[in-house]
Structure formats: structure tokens, C-alpha cells
Structure 1
Amino acid sequence: MSLPKTFPLRAVHGKTFQIPSVGYGTWASGETSWAKDATLTALKEGYRHLDCAWMYGVDEAVGQAIKESGIPREEIFVTSKFWCHFGHPDNVELCLDKILKNMGLDYIDLYLAHWPCVWKPASREALEKARAGPDTDDEAQGLIATADDKPVIDWEHTTSNLAKLKGHEGSFVPTWKAMQETVRKGKARSVGVSNFSITELEELLPHENDVPLSCNQIEVHPWLPQTELVDFGWKHDILITCYSPFAGQKEDGATLLKDAKVNELAKKNDMDVGQLLQSWAVQRGTVPLGKSATPARIKSNLNIRKLSDKDVKALDDLALPNEEGRTVDPSAEWDLPLYKH
């Protein structure tokens, strides 16, 4: 049985357009030489949804892959995100301009705030010269270096709940309004957020106006199903896209890809493990963003199929309590309990 190939995404002036239900993730730690060839392979295998971010440092490579693929631009859905030190309202569009220039594009389809926390940049000039990637330090990225290697937080523009936790007043609304303006200018077709909790989404919902809150990208997989946050998205027509759909490695060395139950279900359904996990995500009405540099896995991860209710429940039952399933630590650089309020 088939699963949906696309989901509707809210856009400006009450319109909707379609986003492919499986995306190809372009983040990876370490060097980035894999990016162009892997992205080109993904496009040739049928992916039409690329999930990117300025901080990944692969904009040029992904842009080259899009160009070399020969696929018309309008057939490829491109998502990108601004990193925290571009979060001041005056700098949101600057990051998008850098993304567009590096990728060789006139617009992107979805522009996201990477985190609900805003940092102070070294200067506007530093941001204009900033570059991303694993080989760049704080200075090259346009960040303020601190003695304890922590970013300097711009509390005024950080979400109100996070600012309040540290005794400050803040609001992400001015940044959100700057994001909306990129849609009105035609540089992005839609806007959304990433790593936002329900409380943080509620801060923005009264300020949708003509440009809605289209998406919240969060870590989701059977260890960490985020059911309450996913359900909140459904209630408010906020699409949930899922990074780390295969999870990562926990502190004890365990990985979801090697979980005995997951492998048993994959074998039962004649699927690769990644294919099974992507199918589970789409069947829940969410968009998985799996990443691989291996051609065979790139291909199989796209080949989603409907699972039985029993098998879906078996995967649901893998959920771990109290955030134990989280493999991406969202508070490591902030000392703030992101997601948990």
C-alpha cells in the first residue's frame, strides 16, 4: 500500500502548496566533500526535497548538485535555516541572501529559524563576511568568542520563555516578523521554525497574519516520538519535519538502527531499517529528513511503504521516557532546557 508523496504546506495569503513527504538531509559532522555527489545521487534517484541550513556549510555543493541535475528549479523543494547569530531582526534577511548567493538560487521554498535562542554576532560586518562549515572557527562564522566558549545570548530577541528562565525579558516576535518579510519580498515561499516547543510556537501564532507559521522541524524517531508536539502541529496546521529520523548513538553506545525490534520489523516487511523508519514517520503525517552518502541507502530510504497498524504500534512502543531517547542535545551550547516547557 502506498503512502502520500506530498503533504500540504500553508503559505502566504491563505494559499497552500505541496511539500514532498520525504526529504534528503544535508547535515553531517566533519568534512563536506560528500555533499555534492550525494545530493546529486539523491536527486537522480527521485528526491525532490532538500533540507539544508547555512550552518551546514554545504550550500555551494548542494547548489552545484541542483544545477548539474538538470531538474527544473520549480520541481525541487529547498529548505534552509539561519543560525542563531543571524537571529536579530536586522540580520535575518542577510543570512537568506548569503544562502541564495551560495546556492545560486533566486528563492528557497521554506526558511526556518534554526533555534529559539538568538546570539549576538561580532558585528554586522563580521556577518557579511561570515562563512560556515566544519573548518571554520567562531571568528570566521562571525560569532563573539567568549572565555568559556559559550555564545553571548541576545536575550531581547530570544523567545520569551527562555529569556524569563534566566531573568530577562525577550520576544522572538520581531525576528518572526522579519522572517515574514522575506516571503513578501519573494525570497522565500514560506517560513517556519526548528527546535521550538509548544510554548514557543504559541508565542508566534498570534502574529501569523498573511504569512503563516508553516513548519516546525524537530528531532523525531521511535525512541523520541514527540507525540504531544506533533499533535500540536496537526491542530494548528503546522507541518512537522523530522531530523535525525534514524536517531544517533546514545551515551551507552546504543543505536536505533541496530535495535533488535527495529531490525526484526524491517526484515518482516522486506525493508532496510532506514526505509522502515522513514515509512513510520510519513505514516504519522510527518516528513522525515534522512541522510546517507551511500547510493543504495539513499535509494531505499525514499522507497516508503505503508506499515500494518501492528507494526506501527511496535515502533511506537520503543519510545523512551523523560527525553532519554534524545540523541541531539539541544541545550549543550545554551545551558537552557529547550523543548521541555
Structure 2
Amino acid sequence: MSLPKSFTLRAAGRKTIEMPSVGYGTWAGGDNSWAKDAVVNALKAGYRHLDCAWMYGVDGLVGEAIKESGIPREEIFVTTKFWPHFGHPDNVELCLDKILSGMQLEYVDLFLAHWPCVWMPASREALEKAHAGHDATPDDMGIMKSNDDKPVIDWKHTAAHIAKQKGQEGSFVPTWKAMQECARRGKAKAIGLSNFSITEIEELLPYEADVPIACNQIEVHPWLPQTELVEFGKQHDIVITCYSPFAGQKEGARRLDEPTVVDLAKKNDMDGGQLLQSWAVQRGTVPLGKSATPSRIKSNLAIRKLSDDDMKALDGLAVPNGEGRTVDFTNKWDVPLFTG
């Protein structure tokens, strides 16, 4: 029995669309010159799902890659996200318009809120001129800073759960409704969330209406399986997409080089990335692995069903109490500028 090639997403207008079960991530620290060629290679290798975000600063390069690939736009599933300082309801569509212009697209398939917090922009004019990228400063991005060089939090539009922890009143609902309007206008087929907890999702569930919560993108890998959040998503027909599926490093050593991963990969005639991508899809989630190496781009897409014993062995890597990121949205850049 093979693994699914796609998962069904709830979309605008009570419709459904198919999301390919393996995505290609387009974020990376440092210089972005790799992006165009890597995305072209990914598309030619068979990927039909690109995970992007305004913050990554590669919209133009991704758009050029889509054109150069020669693959029809309708065959490619494009996800993107808006950064917190575009989170005021009046500015959400502006970010999406900037993304569409940069990518030279008429619509995206999935539009996500990158984080459940909202920051103040320097001004509307600053947002209109804003650009992102590995060397972009907060001023370049149009972010309002406090005297101690921290983003100024827009508590009124930040998720209620987070605002309450700081003695503030907030609600992400107005921002969510602005996202829904983007979908109703045909600029996004579906909308969703990223880095939202169960409590923060629950705030929005009563407001799904004709444009439901299609997705929640979170960090997931065997060392941080996020089982409760994944199961919550399944209960509410919210597809989970997984950034950092290879888990990066611990104490300078790659997680992919841990003995359990190496042994299981060898047993299944796979490399480590291929193994972890297979684990993710077999759990009913969508991994968003990234590589600029053509051979790894290809192997990361070649997922295969694992035995129950192998799945349990990978499940056994979970770190007690988790190693997930605990975010304090009042710290300087604790909503990491260059992550997920």
C-alpha cells in the first residue's frame, strides 16, 4: 500500500482542493541566490507544492522559477504567509498583493497567518515600500520599533490567549475575517494558520463560515511530534503541514545522523530525509523539507510506506516534554525573523 499523493483541504466557498502530500520549502538563512535554481530543480523533479512566505524574500525568484519550469500554474500548489506587522485587518490584503505581484501570480492556493501575534507597522507607506530578505532590517520591512529596539505589539489584534497572558485584551478574529475576504475575492483558494496552538485555533473556530481553517503549519519531526496538535487538526479537518521536518541540529550534530535514523534509513534503502518525510506523510501530515542539492531534492520526494515497527521506532525519538519553541511575543525577535 502506497502513501497518499495528496490531502484534501477545505477551501473557500465550501469547496475542497488537493494539497500534494510533500512540499518543497523555500526558506533558508543567508544569501537567497540559490532559490531560483533550486525551485526549478524541485519542480522538474516532480514537486508540485511550494511553501513560501513574504518574510523569506524569495517571491520574485520563485515566480521566475515557476515560469522557467514550463509547468502550468494550475498544476502547482503555492502556499504563502504574511508576517506579523501586516496583521492589522487593513493590511492583510496589502501583503498578499505584494506577494502576488512579486511572484507574478493571480492567486495563491493557500494563504496563512505566519504567527498568532500582530505587530505595529511603521506606517502604511512603509508597508507599501517594504521588502524582506536575509539582509533586510526592521526598517526595510516596515516594522515599528520601540525605544529598546523591539517590535511594538498590536495587542488589540493579537490572539486573545497571548494578549491575556500579558494583561491585555486582544482578538485575532478581525484579522481572520480580513483573510477570509482575500479568499472571497479569489486571491487565495484557501486560508489557514501557522504556529497556532490549540487555544489560539479555538478562538477562530466559531468564525469559519464559508471560508474555513484549512491548515495549521507547525514545526514537526520525530523529536517534536506535536501529537496533540496534530490530532486536534484531524478532528477539525485542519491539515497539518510540517516545517523543519529534518529537525536541524542538536549540540552541533545533525539529527539525521542519529543512530536510529541512520539504521532505519539503511534498512529501508533510503536516506535520512526520505525516511523522515515518509514518517510525516504516514502520520497524515505534509512535510516541507528543503534542500538545494539536486539528489536530495529528488530523494526527499520519494516517500514510501514504513512498517509499523519502524514508525514506532521513530515515534520513540520524541523528547520528554518536547523541545518545542516557547515564544514570548514581547521579546525582541522571539517571533524568529528567519524560521519556519
Whether TM exceeds 0.5 here: the answer is: yes
Counterpart of 2:13? 13
Number of residue-to-residue matches in the alignment: 334
Counterpart of 2:291? 292
In 2, Cα distance between the equivalents of 1:185 and 1:217? 23
Whether 2:327 is the aligned partner of 1:331: answer yes
Deviation at 1:15, TM superposition (A): 1.4
In 1, Cα distance between the equivalents of 2:285 and 2:237? 12
Counterpart of 2:182? 182
Deviation at 1:258, TM superposition (A): 1.2
Q: How does 1:231-270 map to 2 (within 5 A)?
A: 231-250=231-250, 252-270=251-269
Counterpart of 2:307? 308
Deviation at 1:205, TM superposition (A): 0.4
Q: TM-score w.r.t. structure 2 length?
A: 0.96
Whether 2:301 is the aligned partner of 1:321: answer no
In 2, Cα distance between the equivalents of 1:146 and 1:136? 18
In 1, Cα distance between the equivalents of 2:256 and 2:290? 13
In 2, Cα distance between the equivalents of 1:148 and 1:276? 45
In 1, Cα distance between the equivalents of 2:26 and 2:235? 29
Deviation at 1:13, TM superposition (A): 2.7
In 1, Cα distance between the equivalents of 2:233 and 2:65? 32
In 2, Cα distance between the equivalents of 1:295 and 1:289? 16
Contact 1:150 1:333 in 2 (8 A): no
In 1, Cα distance between the equivalents of 2:316 and 2:150? 37
Deviation at 1:136, TM superposition (A): 1.0
Contact 2:117 2:329 in 1 (8 A): no
SS at match of 1:110: strand
1:233 partner amino acid: G
1:258 partner amino acid: D
Whether 2:97 is the aligned partner of 1:97: answer yes
Q: How does 1:1-341 map to 2 (within 5 A)?
A: 1-250=1-250, 252-324=251-323, 326=324, 329=325, 331=327, 334-335=330-331
In 2, Cα distance between the equivalents of 1:31 and 1:223? 29
2:274 partner amino acid: Q
Deviation at 1:2, TM superposition (A): 1.5
Deviation at 1:180, TM superposition (A): 0.3
Q: Summarize deviations over 1:121-168 as a string: whole Å, max 9, x none.
A: 000000000000011111110011334332110000000010000000
Contact 1:3 1:283 in 2 (8 A): yes
SS at match of 1:94: helix
Deviation at 1:254, TM superposition (A): 3.8
Contact 2:13 2:184 in 1 (8 A): no
Q: Summarize deviations over 1:82-128 as a string: whole Å, max 9, x none.
A: 00000000000000000000000000000000000100000000000
> Where in structure 2 are there 5+ consecutive unaligned residues?
336-340
In 2, Cα distance between the equivalents of 1:335 and 1:137? 17
Q: Summarize deviations over 1:190-247 as a string: whole Å, max 9, x none.
A: 0000000000000000000000000000000000000000000000000000000001
Over the aligned positions, Cα root-mean-square deviation in angstroms equals 1.4
In 2, Cα distance between the equivalents of 1:255 and 1:315? 16
In 1, Cα distance between the equivalents of 2:304 and 2:178? 39
1:331 partner amino acid: V
In 1, Cα distance between the equivalents of 2:285 and 2:159? 25
2:241 partner amino acid: T
- Cα–Cα, structure 1 residues 123 and 330, in superposed 2: closer, same or farther, change >3 Å? farther
In 2, Cα distance between the equivalents of 1:23 and 1:40? 14
Q: Summarize deviations over 1:42-97 as a string: whole Å, max 9, x none.
A: 00000000000000000000000000011000000000000000000000000000
1:78 partner amino acid: V
In 1, Cα distance between the equivalents of 2:150 and 2:327? 12
Contact 1:151 1:333 in 2 (8 A): no
Contact 1:276 1:304 in 2 (8 A): yes
- Greater CA deviation, 163-172 or 13-22? 13-22
Contact 2:77 2:109 in 1 (8 A): yes
SS at match of 1:109: strand
In 2, Cα distance between the equivalents of 1:48 and 1:287? 13
1:270 partner amino acid: D
Counterpart of 2:338? none
In 2, Cα distance between the equivalents of 1:264 and 1:82? 39
In 2, Cα distance between the equivalents of 1:66 and 1:3? 26
Give identity over the alignment, percent.
Answer: 73
SS at match of 1:143: coil
In 2, Cα distance between the equivalents of 1:334 and 1:258? 35
Deviation at 1:306, TM superposition (A): 0.1
In 1, Cα distance between the equivalents of 2:322 and 2:157? 27
SS at match of 1:233: helix
SS at match of 1:190: strand
- Cα–Cα, structure 1 residues 332 and 201, in superposed 2: closer, same or farther, change >3 Å? closer
2:191 partner amino acid: V
